[in-house]
């Protein structure tokens, strides 16, 4: 199926012969690569970053993109900085690739993800060099402990999608990480490590940052911070979830 569209370059309009079938084939190939090749790579990562995590981040990134239009329309003053064009396929690929660097361990995984992306020749079947760089930068910028803001809206959306602000999920992931990386800790030491990490990352004044103003993460983070602020309420929740993992 071919259609003729009006395109504009240098102020001049011209007819563009666009093949819808080619576009559909490209999207199908990208999806196949994401879900058949990339997502299965997460199976070898730690319990908090398995395939379900990759799928969650992809889904959340797509939802944030879809929700943007309604938020923009609701603003009394045009939010020009949030109105920039976002390519759906570039964003989806960035979300799928964001944690691939975990294959080399956690310490530099965001940077290693960028290296893996730039060296993946498969991506160049569907994306320009500039788009591959955007995907790589989004992966590099997603880490919650990063000290600077993501460089592009793609990085902000992926970083926000990676902030799965669900109290039970966050505590379980924290415990799972501790069990894997600190196996010699006693049960009580694991509980205390989890409590300390929750305060450091998610507590009021913690290093976790949110980037997308139309995300509902802020409300959920406030609820989590209320729990973290009351250690007498937090510790029993952590112990209860630790029992699930034992």
- What's the residue count for the chain? 246
pLDDT tens figures, 155-196: 999 999 999 899 999 999 999 999 989 999 999 999 999 999
Note the pLDDT of residue 21. 83
Given pLDDT bands bounded at 50, 70 and 90, which one contains residue 18?
low
**Cα end-to-end distance, the chain, whole Å:** 57
Q: What is the rounded radius of gyration, in angstroms, for the C-alpha atoms of the chain? A: 21
Note the pLDDT of residue 117. 98
Given pLDDT bands bounded at 50, 70 and 90, which one contains residue 16?
low
Helix axes 167-181, 231-245, angle to 10 degrees: 60
Tell me how far apart the alpha carbons of residues 38 and 9 are, in angstroms, rounded to a whole number. 36
Note the pLDDT of residue 2. 44
């Amino acid at each position: 199926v071919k259609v003729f569209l009006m395109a504009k370059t240098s102020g001049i309009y011209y007819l563009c012969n666009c093949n819808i079938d080619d576009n559909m084939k490209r999207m199908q190939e990208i999806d196949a690569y994401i879900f058949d090749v990339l997502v299965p790579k997460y199976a070898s990562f730690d319990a908090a970053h398995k395939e379900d995590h990759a799928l969650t981040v992809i889904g959340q990134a797509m939802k944030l993109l879809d929700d943007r239009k309604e938020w923009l329309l609701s603003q009394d003053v045009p939010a020009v900085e949030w109105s920039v064009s976002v390519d759906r396929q570039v964003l989806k690929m960035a979300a799928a690739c964001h944690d691939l660097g975990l294959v080399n361990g956690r310490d530099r995984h965001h940077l290693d993800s960028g290296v893996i992306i730039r060296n993946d020749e498969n991506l160049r079947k569907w994306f320009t060099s500039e788009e591959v760089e955007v995907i790589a930068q989004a992966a590099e910028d997603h880490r919650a402990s990063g000290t600077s803001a993501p460089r592009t809206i793609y990085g902000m959306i992926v970083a926000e999608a990676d902030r799965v602000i669900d109290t039970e999920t966050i505590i379980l992931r924290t415990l799972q990480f501790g069990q894997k990386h600190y196996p010699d800790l006693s049960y009580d030491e694991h509980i205390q490590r989890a409590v300390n990490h929750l305060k450091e990352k998610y507590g009021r004044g913690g290093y976790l940052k949110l980037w997308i103003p139309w995300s509902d993460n802020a409300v959920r983070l406030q609820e989590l911070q209320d729990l973290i602020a009351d250690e007498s309420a937090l510790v029993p929740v952590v112990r209860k979830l630790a029992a699930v993992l034992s």
